[in-house]
Structure 1
Amino acid sequence: MKKIAYFLSVMFLFTAFAPAAMAKDAKKENPELTAEEQLRLEEINNRVEEIKAMDFADMSKEERKEVKSELREMKKEAKELGGGVYLSVGAIIIILLILILVT
């Protein structure tokens, strides 16, 4: 019975991490940011702080839409610059189950 449990846990583990391994691209292999990228990231952060300080009650609907679209674009750009490693909830649950089964 233990052999089956170990086999299934290993199979689930490989299934959880296979998509992450296949999704690698050139940018994630080099996580170091250049000086220009760090400067752009700081600019994005400053602009977000400015937007947070704005009073949206005085703005028209079109202006709010423009600010919202600007925030989306900056979020997408910051995500591309930042990179990082993400674990899904399923992968975390499988890791916990394996740790429980091993002990």
Structure 2
Amino acid sequence: MKTPILKAVLFFIAMNITLSVYSFASNSDPVTPNATTKTEDVKGQQLVNRLKEIRAMDKSDLSRAERKALRKEVKEIKNELALNHQGVYLSVGAIIIIILLLILLL
């Protein structure tokens, strides 16, 4: 009799975790996503194109200061792209707990 109760409790805990992660991810941006997504996509594509241009450049003609400025620009672009990319990240501990719950439930 303990097995069905344990399964029900574990199922309830797993559903609670799943719903809380989903609600946290869906409530992270209260602004309308259509207006900001298009402008962010265009700006992100421009930044990626600039990175490709920098990589394709012949840097052997540049002075030391110009190369340093390019490195700084690349770092800034990468940081800006990283900040715009949003997502839900799970820690290793959370993944292990989820796997254990799935093993116990199934």
Residue in 2 that maps onto 1:85: 88
Using a 3 Å threshold, how does the CA distance of structure 1 residues 101 and 63 change in structure 2: closer, same or farther?
A: farther
Unaligned runs of 5+ in 1: none
What TM-score do the two structures reach when normalised by structure 2? 0.56
Q: Is the 8 A contact 1:31 1:83 kept in 2?
A: no
Q: Quote how far apart the aligned CAs of 1:47 are.
A: 0.5
Structure number, greater radius of gyration: 2
Using a 3 Å threshold, how does the CA distance of structure 1 residues 96 and 59 change in structure 2: closer, same or farther?
A: farther
Task: State the superposition RMSD in angstroms.
Answer: 3.4
Return structure 1 stretches of 4+ with deviation > 6 angstroms.
none
Matches within 5 A, 1:1-103: 3=6, 10=13, 21=24, 25-26=28-29, 31-32=33-34, 33-103=36-106
Report the number of matched residues: 91
Using a 3 Å threshold, how does the CA distance of structure 1 residues 99 and 74 change in structure 2: closer, same or farther?
A: same
What TM-score do the two structures reach when normalised by structure 1? 0.57
Give the distance between the partners of 2:32 and 2:79, measured in 1 at CA: 18
